[in-house]
């Protein structure tokens, strides 16, 4: 080929790279369905209010602002003493003066600067704003690099975040899930970039804050990154021991107090069958409790059977099939399991589903480039819509329709989709 031909081919390649692409159909449908769900929250809320229903049934943000955050200022005045764990005095709502910190040790330790600042609400808002803006910028940059036009690449993540009820609820309540989300999402970014050691450390820290992110370390096993897996496990252990030492007054006191508070709270919720749990808790344990009630099985005995069955199912699914599946499948399955398996998993925990959604979005972009259709991708992405909509849209007690039960079912479907379909586009096809 002569010089002129080489120059012409180079010019054509440059133009092709600069040509922007439409948002893939899967993402456009997700965007429209999310907007519809967001609009329905206002319509349904108005109709329920007009019908004279109580606040809980029509306003998804009716709880006092920063309700979770403001449970603990009095407790943190007792930091580094046994009273921090054991000498708690419940006061009437809206906020107890002293309330036990029902989180693992590292959560309790990392929450301390927020309270010791003297302005916990402001500190939390600044942290939440910084993180959400950072996440939006990440997604925007990825979309621009994928040749989506700048306007769409900006509007899509901004509006998706603004219309997400789990994000709104997390910020409104001032829940510590924010820190866990920051660690798990950043760890997932590192994992996607093949920075497995960094991913392991971040996931280990997240697990020390709330235990369930430990399951993310399984994503390192199909890559045979045994050292990274061990690093994540050791990070979890070391971070927990450090937090126990820092919380004090002794490691033994902190350990005993943390276990009493964490598992005491868990036991209370597991044995509960209430409207709150049916609406707010998307854990599949509520499906197990419903079956137990029908069969006359004591609710207090459900937990052991539930955890054992869940561990067997996940192990069989992961090592039996997910091990050989694409990365998007593995992340989707593990994230869905992480959200639905813990016995206590409220609205804000659903923010962990955004990472696999982004990866599925990347599969959709590659499929569009290759002019192929990935089986099951569109339906799977639409399953995220009921997970991000306000609970008022999905709750009608007279019809025995409750948001928590419905979302638990949807999370189960996502897990099955990850096992059924292969969410990938061969490099040769996407070239």
| 44 token code pair | 């349904």
CA dihedral 210, 216, 221, 226 (to 10 degrees): -40
The domain boundary, picked from 248, 270, 292, lies at 270
6-to-1, 16, 18, 406, 431 alpha-carbon distances in Å? 7, 15, 18, 58, 20
The domain boundary, picked from 250, 270, 290, lies at 270
pLDDT band at 138 (very low <50, low <70, confident <90, very high): very high
Whether residue 48 is contained in a domain is answered as yes
pLDDT for position 14:
46
Q: Are residues 250 and 289 in the same domain?
A: no
pLDDT band at 300 (very low <50, low <70, confident <90, very high): confident
Whether residue 252 is contained in a domain is answered as yes
Whether residue 157 is contained in a domain is answered as no
Residue 401 forms beta bridges with which residues?
A: 396
Alpha helices in 59-145 (DSSP H): 73-76, 83-86, 105-116, 120-145
- DSSP-derived secondary structure letter, 326: -
Number of domains in the chain: 2
**CB 32, CB 40: distance < 8 Å:** no
Q: In sequence order, what are the residues at sequence separation of 6 or more whose Cβ sits closer than 8 angstroms to the Cβ of residue 251?
A: 241, 244, 245
Radius of gyration of the chain (CA): 23
**Residue range 203-225, pLDDT digits in tens:** 999 999 999 999 999 999 999 99
Q: Are residues 37 and 128 in the same domain?
A: no
Per the listing, tokens 């302005």 go with 119
Specify the higher pLDDT residue, 6 or 234.
234
* 396 φ, ψ (degrees, to nearest 5): -140, 85
Whether residue 237 is contained in a domain is answered as yes
* Alpha-carbon gap, residue 103 to 285, rounded angstroms: 20
Q: What is the DSSP string of 205-244?
A: HHHHHHSGGGGGGGGGTTTT-HHHHHHHHHHHHHHHHHHH
Per the listing, tokens 């045979």 go with 224
pLDDT for position 12:
40
Q: Are residues 77 and 29 in the same domain?
A: no
Nearest to residue 317, comparing CAs of 196, 426, 245, 414?
414
- DSSP-derived secondary structure letter, 168: H
Is residue 29 exposed (0-12), middle (13-18) or buried (19+ Cβ within 10 Å)? middle
The domain boundary, picked from 270, 292, 319, lies at 270
Q: For helices 251-270 and 226-247, what crossing angle results, to 10°?
A: 100
N- to C-terminal Cα separation, the chain: 22
Whether residue 282 is contained in a domain is answered as yes
pLDDT band at 62 (very low <50, low <70, confident <90, very high): confident
Whether residue 266 is contained in a domain is answered as yes
228-to-165, 188, 222 alpha-carbon distances in Å? 34, 14, 12
Is residue 144 exposed (0-12), middle (13-18) or buried (19+ Cβ within 10 Å)? middle
Whether residue 64 is contained in a domain is answered as no
* 148 φ, ψ (degrees, to nearest 5): -75, 140
pLDDT band at 296 (very low <50, low <70, confident <90, very high): confident
**CB 232, CB 203: distance < 8 Å:** yes
Q: Are residues 120 and 46 in the same domain?
A: no
- DSSP-derived secondary structure letter, 298: -
pLDDT band at 431 (very low <50, low <70, confident <90, very high): low
Q: Are residues 228 and 139 in the same domain?
A: yes
Q: Are residues 258 and 278 in the same domain?
A: no
Q: Are residues 120 and 32 in the same domain?
A: no
**Residue range 328-383, pLDDT digits in tens:** 999 999 999 999 999 888 999 999 999 999 999 999 999 999 999 999 999 999 99
Q: Are residues 371 and 350 in the same domain?
A: yes
Tell me the average pLDDT across 96-119. Answer: 86
| 210 token code pair | 């709330």
Q: Are residues 100 and 39 in the same domain?
A: no
pLDDT band at 139 (very low <50, low <70, confident <90, very high): very high
> Could you tell me the residue range of the domain that residue 404 belongs to?
22-59+274-431
* Alpha-carbon gap, residue 345 to 343, rounded angstroms: 6
63-to-70, 177, 350, 376 alpha-carbon distances in Å? 12, 17, 19, 38
Helix (H), strand (E) at residue 6 = helix 3-18
* 125 φ, ψ (degrees, to nearest 5): -60, -40
Tell me the average pLDDT across 127-139. Answer: 97
Q: Are residues 39 and 85 in the same domain?
A: no
Per the listing, tokens 């137990």 go with 292
- Helix, strand or coil, per DSSP, at residue 401: strand
Q: Are residues 90 and 237 in the same domain?
A: yes
pLDDT band at 91 (very low <50, low <70, confident <90, very high): very low
What is the number of other CB atoms lying within 10 angstroms of the CB of residue 136?
17
* Alpha-carbon gap, residue 249 to 232, rounded angstroms: 27
The percent helix, strand, coil of the chain (3-state, each to 5) is: 75, 0, 25
Residue 148 forms beta bridges with which residues?
A: 21
* Alpha-carbon gap, residue 30 to 38, rounded angstroms: 12
Q: Are residues 343 and 409 in the same domain?
A: yes
* Alpha-carbon gap, residue 140 to 131, rounded angstroms: 14
Whether residue 118 is contained in a domain is answered as yes
Tell me the average pLDDT across 280-295. Answer: 90
């Amino acid at each position: 080929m002569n010089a002129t031909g080489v120059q012409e081919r180079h010019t054509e390649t440059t133009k092709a790279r600069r040509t922007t692409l439409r948002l893939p159909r899967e993402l456009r449908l997700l965007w429209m369905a999310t907007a519809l769900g967001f609009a329905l929250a206002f319509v349904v809320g108005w109709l329920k209010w007009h019908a004279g229903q109580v606040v809980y049934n029509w306003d998804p943000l009716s709880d006092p602002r920063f309700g979770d955050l403001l449970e603990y200022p009095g407790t943190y005045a007792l930091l580094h003493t046994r009273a921090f764990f054991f000498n708690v005095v419940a006061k009437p709502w809206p906020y107890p003066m002293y309330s036990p910190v029902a989180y693992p040790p590292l959560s309790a330790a990392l929450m301390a600067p927020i309270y010791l600042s003297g302005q916990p609400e402001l500190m939390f808002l600044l942290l939440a704003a910084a993180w959400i803006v950072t996440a939006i910028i990440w997604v925007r940059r990825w979309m621009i690099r994928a040749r989506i036009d700048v306007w769409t690449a900006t509007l899509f993540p901004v509006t998706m975040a603004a219309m997400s009820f789990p994000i709104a609820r997390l910020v409104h309540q001032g829940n510590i899930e924010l820190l866990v989300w920051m660690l798990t999402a950043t760890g997932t970014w590192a994992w996607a970039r093949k920075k497995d050691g960094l991913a392991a450390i971040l996931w280990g820290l997240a697990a020390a804050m709330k235990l369930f992110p430990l399951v993310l370390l399984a994503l390192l096993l199909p890559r045979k990154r045994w050292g990274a897996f061990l690093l994540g496990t050791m990070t979890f252990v070391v971070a927990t021991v450090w937090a126990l030492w820092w919380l004090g007054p002794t490691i033994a006191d902190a350990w005993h107090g943390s276990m009493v508070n964490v598992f005491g709270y868990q036991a209370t919720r597991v044995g509960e069958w209430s409207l709150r749990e049916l609406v707010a808790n998307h854990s599949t344990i509520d499906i197990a409790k419903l079956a137990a009630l029908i069969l006359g099985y004591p609710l207090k005995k459900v937990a052991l059977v539930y955890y054992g069955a869940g561990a067997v199912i996940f192990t069989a699914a992961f090592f039996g099939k997910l091990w050989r599946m694409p990365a998007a499948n593995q992340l989707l399955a593990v994230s869905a399991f992480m959200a639905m398996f813990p016995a206590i998993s409220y609205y804000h925990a659903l923010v962990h589903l955004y990472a696999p959604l982004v990866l599925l979005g990347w599969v959709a972009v590659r499929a569009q480039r290759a002019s192929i259709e990935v089986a099951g991708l569109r339906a799977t992405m639409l399953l995220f819509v009921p997970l991000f909509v306000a609970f008022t849209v999905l709750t009608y007690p007279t019809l025995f329709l409750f948001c928590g039960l419905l979302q638990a079912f949807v999370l189960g479907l996502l897990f099955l989709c990850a096992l059924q379909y292969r969410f990938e586009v061969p490099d040769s096809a996407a070239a």
